[in-house]
Amino acid sequence: MSKVDKSEAEWREQLSPEAYRITREGATEPPFSGAYNDDKTPGLYRCICCGEALFGSDTKFDSGSGWPSFYQPRDDNAVDERTDQSLGMTRTEVLCASCDAHLGHVFPDGPEPTGLRYCINSAALQLEPEE
């Protein structure tokens, strides 16, 4: 997969201020505020920055955390992970493998079959509904 590389100005022009703050600066939307937290529409969740397919609605579950949660990415190569030691804690940050957009974090307290909870900001996603 080739990396999407844009300047800060290009990202700012393309994204809403909230999407820029979250995906390019690593911010987080307030819990229970995102458009996809309670959404049950079948479809494919893509990166708001580059359009990469990230998560399928078939892996989405209600974690009660206040953010859309998935138990696995659509493809093993869709996301990258790195250690995040901000806010005085150690977490695993989730990034779009194609454009390095900050998506959210992954935690080891999800449902089977993976036991993982990918806690993702709605503003980092664009839902492509099934036809």
Task: Catalogue the active-site residues.
Answer: 119
- Beta carbons within 8 Å of 94's beta carbon, 6+ residues apart: 79, 80, 81, 102, 103, 104, 105, 106, 118, 120
With vertex at residue 70, the alpha carbon angle to CA 65 and CA 72, rounded to the nearest 5 degrees, is 140
